[in-house]
Amino acid sequence: MFSKDTYINRRNELKKLVKSGIIILFGNNESPVNFPANGYYPFRQDSSFLYYFGQKREGLVGVIDIDNNKELLIGNDIEIEDIVWFGSVNSVKDMAEAVGVASTASMKELDSICRDAVRLHRKIHFLPPYRADIKIQIFDLLGIHPTKQKEASSLDLIKAVVKMRSVKSNEEIAELERAAIIGYNMHTTAMRLTKAGLTEKFVAGHVDGVANSLGSMVSFPTIFTQHGEIMHGNPSMNVLEDGRLVLCDCGGETIEHYCSDNTRTFPVNGKFTQRQLDIYKIVEECHDSVLNIAKPGVKYKDVHFAVCHIIFDRMKELGLAKGNTDEAVAAGAHALFLPHGLGHMMGMDVHDMEALDQINVGFDEETRPNLEQFGTNALRMGRRLEEGFVVTDEPGIYFIPDLIDNWKINKHCADFLNFDKISMYKDFGGIRIEDDILITQTGCRFIGKNIIPYKPKDIEEYMASNKE
């Protein structure tokens, strides 16, 4: 955990932003895999609960009564039978004291607290729940049906949490730097192990093991696949083939649950072909261009479209695209190659605060999402950047056979795309390069002291000299 004062100051700031009412922050409960006693491991606490109350044990709820300036940590102390199986843990009172909370109560008392608040018509603030058991708990406590809870959640609380969690403190940046070390070791492990004849699952299993051994867990399910054109391609039992590219998108969490998220694409045999380099160099140029554009005051939406222009211009040079680039990007023609956004917020969640709805996290009153245009509707982050934001920089180029065929049949953006030549790349796969960047006072920088090799020459040299 961070210092006691960190959590006290965070809750005090939250009270100022929300102003009145009672805030209820639900921690997570154990989640069973296939029977009650077989839970997902390791236990993962809710990030907003962690941010304000710091404790990682399951079955906790934080209450902040703004009007009466009272804070409580709600939870039941574990009993001797549990200690036999899981060992001794701190009491709820001890956990509360560690984060500067003066009062505690049992879970049964939460019902009385909520009943009194409802009876007195007080504003009850809670965040939109994402787990079924918490939805049931809210239904029991407040009488709000699970299908109505998202709209009943507090926009004032959501906006306050987003405002606070978006700007990372020095303590948080230090944790993100630690997460970057885990990510570096995960990706370089993949580069060392990858060779023809192994399965995707074999390499991905070792990658996950690095996260488990150096931190808390993976920050999201590892993507490791020769089908880089599949955005979330899970590792399969497919055998790695000589001459193919493999895409590795993975990250780790520190013990304090701060994340890394990087992607590298590299040849199975350690040597790029010229055809692969033609596409890779475009993605590399886009990736590096972000470092020169992103800074406080710039909309990340504009950075995204600057990258889209680069992609389309370079595709024209390869004969895969045609026409006026501005018109093509406005029409969404670039999305055949880049069907996702440039990046997203990152921090305690790899898609930071996604449970609070992307429209509240990546957009604001000034910058609104475009939900109609394919590709642009997947833009997660569009708002103006601020010092202390951490966002991902993850351009890519993908050749998705079904999408190519669909657009060709429907003549979608036919004025800007050379479908016959594009069809020759249907066996190519996809390339993505991703790093995490911190917005500084004057620009931005990579998170991580050691940058995972991504320049083609550096990848080839690393794979050649570090084979296992």
Are residues 45 and 79 located together in one domain of the fold? yes
CA torsion sign, 332 to 333 to 335 to 338?
A: negative
Round to whole Å and give the CA distance between 191 and 204: 11
- Asked if 186 and 333 sit in the same domain, the reply is yes
The CA distance from 211 to 88, in Å, is: 26
259 DSSP assignment: B
Both 384 and 252 in one domain: the answer is yes
Inter-CA distances, 81 with 78, 202, 383, 425, 442, Å: 8, 39, 51, 61, 56
Average pLDDT over residues 224-242: 96
- Structural domains counted in the chain: 2
> CB 275: neighbour CB atoms within 10 A?
11
Pairing of strands 396-398, 430-432: antiparallel
436 and 288 co-located in one domain: yes
Per-residue model confidence (pLDDT) at position 185:
98
Instruction: Note the pLDDT tens digit of each residue in 399-410.
Output: 999 999 999 999
Q: For residues 11 and 99, state if they share a domain.
A: yes
Please, what is the Cα angle at 182 between 178 and 187, to 5 degrees? 140
312: domain CATH number is 3.90.230.10
**Is the four-CA dihedral 358, 364, 369, 375 of positive or negative sign?**
negative
Supply 49's token pair: 């609960």
Average of per-residue pLDDT across 79-103 = 90
Confidence of residue 178 (pLDDT cuts 50, 70, 90): very high
Residue 468 has pLDDT above 80, yes or no: no
Same domain, 136 and 202: no
For residues 184 and 154, membership in a common domain is answered with: no
Same domain, 285 and 374: yes
Boundary residue ending a domain (126, 146, 166): 166
Residue 38's pLDDT is: 85
Q: Would you give the distance in Å from CA 230 to the centre of its chain?
A: 18
CATH number of the domain that residue 40 is part of: 3.40.350.10
Confidence bin at 278 (pLDDT 50/70/90): very high
Domain stops at, among 114, 138, 166: 166
> Which residue type is seen at 404?
I
242 pLDDT tier (thresholds 50, 70, 90):
very high
**Average of pLDDT values for 159-166?**
98
CA atoms of 438 and 447, how far apart (whole Å): 6
User: Which whole number is the average pLDDT over 320-335?
Assistant: 98
The backbone torsions φ and ψ at residue 335, rounded to the nearest 5 degrees and listed phi first, read -70, -15
For 24-80, what is each residue's pLDDT tens digit?
A: 999 999 999 899 888 888 899 999 999 999 999 999 999 999 999 999 999 999 888
Same-domain check for residues 381 and 441: yes
Residues 180, 159: one domain? no
Last residue of a domain, one of 151, 166, 181: 166
Alpha helices in 42-131 (DSSP H): 47-53, 80-86, 92-98, 107-119
Q: Which ranges constitute the DSSP H helices of 270-344?
A: 274-293, 300-317, 325-331
- DSSP structure string for 173-238: HHHHHHHHHHHHHHHHHHHHH--TTSBHHHHHHHHHHHHHHHSSEESSPPEEES-TTSTT----SP
Q: How far apart are CA 414 and CA 407, in angstroms?
A: 8
Whole-number pLDDT of residue 41:
84
pLDDT tens figures, 98-156:
999 999 999 999 999 999 999 999 999 999 999 999 999 999 999 999 999 999 999 99
Tokens of 354: 């996604």
Q: Which helix (H) or strand (E) holds 104?
A: strand 103-105
71 and 206 both lie in a single domain: no
Q: How confident is the model at residue 83 (pLDDT cuts 50, 70, 90)?
A: confident
Q: Which domain holds residue 412?
A: 170-465
Q: 165-174 pLDDT, tens per residue?
A: 999 999 999 9
Q: Rounded to the nearest 5 degrees, what angle is found at the Cα of 145, between the Cα atoms of 139 and 148?
A: 125
Q: What is the mean pLDDT of residues 202-229?
A: 97
Q: Region 204-225: what's the mean pLDDT?
A: 97
Is residue 107 located within the same domain as residue 239?
Answer: no
Q: Give the pLDDT band of residue 85 (cuts 50, 70, 90).
A: confident
Report pLDDT for 86: 80
Q: How far is CA 339 from CA 43, 395, 457, in A?
A: 33, 10, 28
